[in-house]
Amino acid sequence: MKRYLSWSGGKDSSASIVLCYEKGIPLDGVIFSEVMFDHSRNISGENPEHIKWVYETAIPIIQKMGYQVEVVRAKDDYLSIFNHRITRSKVSERVGKKCGWLIGGMCAANRALKIRPIKDFYKNVVDEYEQIIGIAVDEPERLIRLKSNSRSVLAEFGFVENDTYGICRPYGLLSPDYGKFSRGGCWFCPNNSVERFANFAKEYPELWAELEKLSHDEEIVSQGFKYGRTFQSVNREINLINNQISIFDFLK
């Protein structure tokens, strides 16, 4: 039987790789699904600092452990989802228009760009296989949903989610994302906090400008950039955050 580990670059799946290494659990491959913003310009949808770490630091470390890393990508990207024209709808006015922004809680990007390429990978595995997924023992609702050919080494060895930081850190497998935020994810994700968007817009103005450009498209159906809030509304708040002046600025 083949055995693969689905790796996001996050702490839970990275800790699972470390446990497999330490416990001598063989892996036929580590599968990393990279979400793309724009294939044509090779713009990743992953946080820039995170994806740089994935390729330049994490993958070489995992390979030195003796595990092969397979990077998979969907044929589609964020822009193809955004620009997809609606052909059928109960609301006739929507037909022919573009889908627009991702809908929070119903993320088409996660389904089409993250999960689908992993499923496509497993469809091409001829032999029976086992899939290792990074779920901690204190996530019982997720463990219950595991399929019969899936397992969690974190749960098997009794590790809770908070343990994963300490498991990853000695091996250099803790993403730099965790130095700033409690979770990773795509830089355009509607689940990101406004504070995180503000930080991103300040660090990567050229990528934030990509979203600002999309906000002027008059053909889109979904106007809610973040759970019903328009891009313009979120952007105004971001500008206030990034341009605020503290008392310490006057003391310099």
Q: What is the pLDDT of residues 117-144, one digit of tens each?
A: 999 999 999 899 999 999 999 999 999 9
Question: Could you give the number of structural domains in the chain?
Answer: 1
**Percent of the chain surpassing pLDDT 70:** 95
Range(s) of the domain holding residue 125: 2-180
Give a yes or no: residue 199 inside a domain.
Answer: no
Give a yes or no: residue 51 inside a domain.
Answer: yes
Give a yes or no: residue 55 inside a domain.
Answer: yes
Residues paired with 131 in a beta bridge: 4, 150
Half-sphere exposure of 160 (CA within 13 A, CB side): 2
26-62: per-residue pLDDT in tens? Answer: 999 999 999 999 999 999 999 999 999 999 999 999 9
Can you tell me which residue has the tokens 């809030």?
Answer: 229
Give a yes or no: residue 35 inside a domain.
Answer: yes
* C-alpha to C-alpha distances, 153 to 59, 137, 175, nearest whole angstrom: 20, 9, 20
CATH code: domain of residue 85 = 3.40.50.620
Give a yes or no: residue 117 inside a domain.
Answer: yes
37-46, 181-190, 239-248: least confident range: 239-248
Residue 99, SS3 per DSSP? strand
Give a yes or no: residue 205 inside a domain.
Answer: no
Tokens standing for residue 2: 């083949």
* C-alpha to C-alpha distances, 63 to 54, 56, 71, 169, nearest whole angstrom: 12, 12, 13, 17
Q: Quick one: pLDDT at residue 143?
A: 95
Tokens standing for residue 76: 């589609």
Look at the pTM and tell me if it is higher than 0.75: yes
Give a yes or no: residue 232 inside a domain.
Answer: no
Give a yes or no: residue 226 inside a domain.
Answer: no
Contact 199, 180 (CB under 8 A): yes
Contact 152, 134 (CB under 8 A): yes
